[in-house]
Structure formats: structure tokens, C-alpha cells
A and B are shown apart, each in its own frame.
Chain A
Amino acid sequence: MSNVLIAPSVAEPRRVPLTGRPRPGEAVIRGALVACGWFVLATTLAMLGFLARTGIRGLGEVGVGALLSGDTWKPEAGSFGGLALIVGTFATALGAIALGAGPAVLAAVWLTEFAGESVARGYRRVMEIASAVPSVVYGWLALVYLVPIFEKLAHAIRGDDAPVTGEGIAASAFLLAVMIAPTVLLLSLDALSRVPRPLRDASAALGASPWQTAFSVSVPYGWRGLLVATFFGFARAAGETMAVQMVIGGARRLPRDFFFSPTTTISAQIVMDMQEARPGTPENDVLYSMALVLLSVSVVVVLVTRAMARGQAR
């Protein structure tokens, strides 16, 4: 190799091709760079390890069966019914996807296929800001404006005397739908913008109308990306804490009326109980167990999206 002529003192010529002689002190910089990589790896492992250790201790103290079946969450009285939390989390997140993902994906299709470029740019800017607005702001707006509307709605549906409130799964799901729609829309835009130009041109050359091109070429080509966007929306909705905490009602049991009565979610309950439960007690440990449930949901989402991304790359 020719670099031997330039830098004879380089010990491993194959790894450092055609470059100058290392300066003193460069080993330190290289070491620091490797350390950054190790830092990322080590903190991730530490995080998962810490949570798993405490969470599994909590599972051992309470028992998996009790945690997953009981319907009342009252740790201070020794009643660890995590079912209400799990049901609340999944019901709100699935509701959010059902309400929010469809419009977001359709809007993304319209933007990439039919809208003019300046419209698309302005639209994108609005959605970027909307997706960056703090979740507590959404939560506060929902608390002030959405909950009263849902209260009226609940009474209109269930009757005036029914024991229903505006707080609960319906209001939370609607709020989450509003929150995740911009995120899903932006990710869908990215997915659709990766559809190759030649495919669209070929479709047009075959005489297809814009509508046919959009729904027979672009959407089928980008469907993995659209699905990944929806998955991310689901993960964000399931992990959302403060906004949901403000409108879910904070009753620590399964809701009396599935849509319109107070209940709770995993993350909302963690943030509420964490300030009270003393560290090291079962009340505290079991919160980490619930966090493990939440964490496994997001890890599953990562594995699925990674697998899908690999499928797309092929």
C-alpha cells in the first residue's frame, strides 16, 4: 500500500489510508470520541437495567397476576390492580390513532399529490409548530374547552341523570388525536416524498389520472412508511403523560362508563404517585413495574419499525 511511503510510522496502514502522521494528543481525542459512543451505550443499558431491577422487584412483591387482573389501584391500601391503568393507556392511545391517523395520512396524501408547492410549504410550517407545541398547552386547552363540551355530549348520549362526566377516555382520546395528528402527518409526508419520481411519471404516461396515480402508485409504494408513522403516533400517544393526566379524571379504577367517566393511565398514575410513594416501598416499586409495561410497548414498536424499514430498504 502506497501510504507506507508517506507515513512509515503508522502501525496499521490498512486502517489509516493515505493520511498524515498522527500528532501528539490525537490519541486522546480519538479516545474521547470512542468514549462518547460508549456513553450512549452505557447510559441506555443503565437506564434499562435500573428500571428492570426495580420493576421486577415490584412484580415479585405484588405478583404478576394481581397486577394484571385487579381493577382498583390503591397502593397505600395494598391493592395493586394495574388493569385500570393498562386499559386506560391502550384505550386512549388506540382511540387517538382511530381518530387522528386517518385524517393525518389523507392530508399528507393530498399535500404530496395534489397541493401546490407554496401551499405545501406553509402547511408544513404550521404542522411543525403544532407538533412542537408543549403537551401541557394541549392539556390545558382541553381542560378548559374540551371537557365541558364532552360533558354536554356525554349527557346528550347517556341521558341527563347518568353518572357521567366530561373527563375520561373519550376526551383523552380526542385530545391525543389532536396532539399526534401533526406528528403522523409530518412522518407521512416524509414517507410519501420518498416515492420515486419515475414511478409517478410512468403512471401518468400510462394515462392514469392524478387520483389513480396517488392511490394506485404512491400510497401502495409508501404504505410501510405510512404504517411506521402511525406506529410512532401510537407510541407517542401511549407514552403521553401530562396532557392526559389533566383530562383523564384521575380516578384510580376502571371507568364506570367506558367513554365518559374518570379513570387513569400508566404514565399519569406514575407522575401522580411518584411524589407521594416513598422510595423502596412496594408502592413505589410497582410504579416501575408499570413503567416496564409501557417500555415494552415502545420497544416492540421500535423492533417492528426497524424490521419494516429493513424491508423497505430491500
Chain B
Amino acid sequence: MSTTRSLHRSQRQGSSREVALKRVLGIGASALAVVYALGLLYLLVRGGARLWSFTLYPTPLAGVDNEEAMRFVVAAGVFGLVGWLALALVRAVLARLERPRFAAKYERGAVALVALAGALVARDHLPRFLVLLPSETKAGGGIGPEIFNTIYFAVLSTAITLPIGVGAAVYLARFARSQRFVGAVRMALDTLASLPSIVYGLFGFLVFVVEMKAGYSLFAGAFVLALLNLPLVVGIAEESMHAVPRELDEASFALGATPVQTALRVTIPYAWPGILSALVLSVGRVFSESAPLIMTAGTTISRSNAYSLNPFRGGETLAVHLWYVNSAGLAPDRADVSAGTAAVLVILVALTNLLASRFARYGGAEGTRTKKATR
């Protein structure tokens, strides 16, 4: 790319009209990005007011099953994030000072230690908003169960997407024989990718709530989200398997390995960063999807099983909560509740995006390595 730039600079810049047009285009495009960036920043600042209130006195427990375990996990997450940010800061400063990397092998351990210590010491002094139960009518409700459900949804749906998505990708990339079957599967994936998410919601509602009479459940929602994510995961996983050098597979065959052994021990491990980045992206979609969940998992939090691990109960996620609070909520502080929920959502989505691009950098279809090689 850099050579292209210098080529451009050394050639004629074009007429003054073109230069002016270019400037206008640049200002417009930059303004667009600045608006989005400021919007994201505003969401963080506006909601941060609700989040940033560590309490001196312990937050009372609501007396719900698993509540204490949940607090521990949230505290570990919050302090892990703080530790990670601090580490990034230290690293940036050290890089600026041009000092050699400092005790790199203890970095992960340090972050884990900060998370653990924070969780042990301060789990009852977290921002109340993050750990309290939501409140329908009174001010001061939290989003504890919504955070739990959001993460539980991510785990459940990944547990379905991972084996089926990777299995289908391995099949398409390495074992497919019938061209007609492959074409049909690809057509199916294209169709799935194009369907509006509300259609997934209708399907889940029809199958789980109507036909199976199972009512609203986390499992139904997770299954529907897994279907929604299949095209993405299969697509990226297959691409990163195609990016595995042929020589590696052939070397494995030459050593006497069977195709199955080669796929399991050579192809999948080599393509793993790409697969991982696809999974992280799909988790981001789980965080942000709301319409299909309203129709399969409902919009309520029941006090009796707010933190239950039973996947056959109903429950709302953060995104659904944000909608519900604004369309049916009666709490007087719903503007603040919405802002705080939105800020948590933006943080979660930004984190998944950063993680996905970090994984992708180490290889796979979207990796810079393959991009550099093909450029």
C-alpha cells in the first residue's frame, strides 16, 4: 500500500477543482466517522454515571439462588478488565520509553491475580446497578440477572454453534464429494444468512413455544441464535481451512495419517485462530440480538430463578431489557437504567470486536498474514 501512496504523491495531483473536491470528500467522510465515534463515547459517558458508583457499604443480597457466585464472577470480570486496561497502559508507556518488554510471561498471571483479589475483596462493593435485580416500578433497579442471562446465552449458543459449524466447515472444506450436496448446503447457508432475525424468532416460537408447548426458554433462544450464527461461523471457518497450506496436509498424509486424523490434528489446529475469531464475532451477535429472543425466551426475570443454570426457564438479556424498559417499563429512572444498560452493551460489543480482530491477526482467513501474502 505504501508504495501506492508514494506513487500517487509523485504524480500530478490533478486540477485545482479535483483537489478541492477531494478535500470536501475527505471532510465529509471524516465527519461521518467523528459522529459515530462521538456517539459511542457519549453512550459510555452517559451510562458510565450509572455504572461508576462503587459503594462503601455492602450491597444487600436479594436472597436468590447462586447470587453470591454471580457476584464473584461479575467482580472478577470487572477487575480483570481494569487489570487488563492497566496492563495495556503500562505496556504503551514502556513502548514509548523504548524499554524492553518487562516480565512479559507474568502479565496474564498478574491480570488473573488482580481479578481474583478484586473479586474476593470487593465483590459486595461493586456498582449496585451491575448486581441488583431489575425493578419494574421502583427506581434503583439493577441488571444483574440480565448480565448473567446474556453471558449464559453466549455459552449455550456457542455450545451448539461450535461443533455443528466447525463440523460443517470441515466437511465442506475437506470431505465433500457430491457437488450437488455441497451446492445445496451453500445455498442453505446463503439463505440463512439473508433471513431477517425476526424470521428466526417466528420459527423458534412456532417450534418451541407452539409445537413443543415448552413455553419461553433460554434453550429455545440459544438454539435460534445458534442457527442465526451458523452461516457466519461456517463461512469464516471454511475460509480459514482453505487458507491452510496444502503442503501441511500432504506432509501429514505422507506420514501415513488418514484424512480424519489430518483434519483433526493438522487442519483444525492450524485454522483455529480464524475459527475462534468467528466464534467471538458470533458471541457479539448474541449480545446484541433482541427480536428473536423476545419471541423465544420472553421479556421477564423471575425472582425465584434469576440466576438459575436451568436452560429451560425463560429470561431476558441486556438488549431485550433495554427495549422492555422503554416500551413497557414504569420505573421513574428508566432513562438512567437504559443509559447504563446501553453502556454495558457497548463495552461488551467493543470487547468482542477487539478480541475477534486480535485472534484474526494470528492467522485464519482474515489474518493480516494471509492478506499480506496475497497482496
Contacts and interface: CB of A to CB of B under 8 A. Distances in A.
Contacts, number: 278
Given A110-B26, A126-B36, A207-B12, A136 B322 contact: yes
Contacts of B33: 107, 123, 126-127
A126 B37 contact: yes
Contacts of B338: 140, 144
Given A133-B345, A200-B4, A207-B11, A107 B198 contact: no
A132 B284 contact: yes
A117 B371 CA distance: 15
Main secondary structure on A side of the interface with B: helix
A154 B161 CA distance: 47
B323 A211 contact: no
Interface size class of A (residues with CB under 8 A): 35 or more
Given A39-B164, A246-B327, A211 B22 contact: yes
Contact of B29 (A43, A110, A197, A204): A110
Interface string A244-273: 011000000000000000000001001100
A137 B342 contact: yes
A171 interface: no
A298 interface: yes
B291 A132 contact: no
A104 B25 CA distance: 11
A37 B171 contact: yes
A110 B25 contact: yes
B8 A204 contact: yes
Interface residues of B, number: 99
Main secondary structure on B side of the interface with A: helix
22 contacts: A20-B253, A21-B258, A36-B164, A103-B28, A103-B32, A115-B26, A129-B349, A132-B352, A133-B345, A134-B290, A136-B319, A137-B43, A209-B14, A209-B18, A212-B18, A239-B199, A242-B290, A242-B291, A270-B198, A275-B294, A288-B202, A299-B191
Interface of B: 1-2, 4-5, 7-8, 11-15, 18, 21-22, 25-26, 28-29, 32-33, 36-37, 39-40, 43, 163-165, 167-168, 170-172, 175-177, 181, 184-185, 188-203, 205-207, 209-210, 227, 230, 234, 253-254, 256-262, 264, 284-285, 287-291, 294-295, 319-320, 322-323, 326-327, 335, 338, 342, 345-346, 349-350, 352-353, 357, 375
Interface of A: 6, 15-23, 26, 29-30, 32-37, 39-41, 43-45, 47-48, 50-51, 54, 103-104, 106-107, 109-111, 114-117, 123, 125-130, 132-137, 139-141, 143-144, 181-182, 197, 200-201, 204, 207, 209-212, 235, 238-242, 245-246, 267, 270-271, 274-275, 279-280, 287-288, 291, 294-295, 298-299, 301-302, 306
